[in-house]
């Protein structure tokens, strides 16, 4: 227990300053903290992420040097750099970040798919990333959305916006097909169809709750 000489009040919580005047408190009786210090864990994880970031930058610098020194025809150091960066994203965004779990899962999966496309270009570009990996990633995210909706069945309508986002994402490989970059469009159109019908089914079955959620999200009266 502490006491503020200025305000003449006793503070039960374990703190060093008065919450009213910010003056240094005078200790009277030793008491346990009434509230859990959630910032301690956050600070520890933040420190761990910073240490990892330094080690990752150092390791990547060495790998870049080795890649150049060995005169390799493939820039494999880009792959290692992307892997190290993804682990850092998991630490900062998924573990330390305050975003909801659905945003963490979906965003990290989309970043992973994007990295796979970059790896394809780094290794000489054989087209497997845009023909198969990109639409497969979209299908996987759609499947994750379905699972999350079933787990959080009471708040299923909150996933409608993510479904719209996935429809937009599924149009990217279609655009690449129209540009001649995607050469095997079968999986591309399957992914787009799944994203569209997932949203359509949710909207029809959800009926009024789905309409209310969309109006609320997009501020439509």
State yes or no: pLDDT of 31 exceeds 50. Answer: no
> Over the stretch 76-94, which tens digit does the pLDDT of each residue have?
899 999 999 999 988 888 7
Residue 26 backbone zone (phi > 0: left; psi -120 to 50: alpha; other: beta): beta
Work out the average pLDDT over 188-214.
92
C-alpha dist (Å) from residue 58 to 51, 72, 110: 11, 20, 27
pLDDT value at position 30? 52
- Whether this model's pTM surpasses 0.95: no
With the CA atoms of 199, 200, 204 and 210 taken in that order, what torsion angle do they form, in degrees rounded to the nearest 10? Answer: 30
Strands 2-4 and 9-11, how do they pair? antiparallel
Phi, psi values for residue 3, rounded to 5°:
-135, 135
pLDDT for residue 36 is more than 60: no
DSSP 3-state assignment of 24? Answer: strand
- Tens of pLDDT, residue by residue over 88-125, are 988 888 777 777 777 787 788 888 888 888 888 888 88
């Amino acid at each position: 227990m502490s006491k503020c000489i200025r305000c003449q009040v006793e503070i039960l919580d374990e703190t060093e300053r008065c919450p009213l005047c910010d003056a240094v408190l005078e200790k009277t009786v030793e008491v346990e903290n009434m509230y859990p210090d959630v910032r301690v864990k956050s600070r520890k994880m933040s420190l761990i992420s910073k240490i990892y970031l330094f080690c990752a930058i150092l390791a990547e610098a060495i790998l870049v040097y080795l890649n150049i020194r060995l005169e390799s025809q493939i820039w494999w150091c880009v792959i290692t750099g992307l892997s190290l960066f993804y682990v850092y994203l998991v630490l900062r965004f998924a573990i330390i970040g305050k975003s909801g779990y659905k945003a963490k899962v979906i965003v990290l999966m989309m970043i992973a798919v994007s990295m796979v496309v970059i790896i394809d270009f780094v290794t000489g570009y054989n087209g497997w990333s845009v023909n198969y990996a990109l639409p497969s990633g979209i299908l996987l995210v759609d499947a994750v959305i379905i699972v999350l909706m079933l787990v959080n069945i009471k708040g299923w309508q909150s996933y409608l916006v993510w479904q719209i986002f996935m429809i937009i994402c599924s149009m990217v490989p279609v655009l690449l097909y129209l540009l001649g970059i995607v050469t095997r469009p079968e999986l591309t159109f399957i992914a787009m169809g799944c994203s569209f019908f997932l949203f359509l089914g949710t909207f029809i079955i959800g009926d009024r709750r789905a309409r209310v959620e969309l109006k609320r999200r997009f501020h439509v009266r």
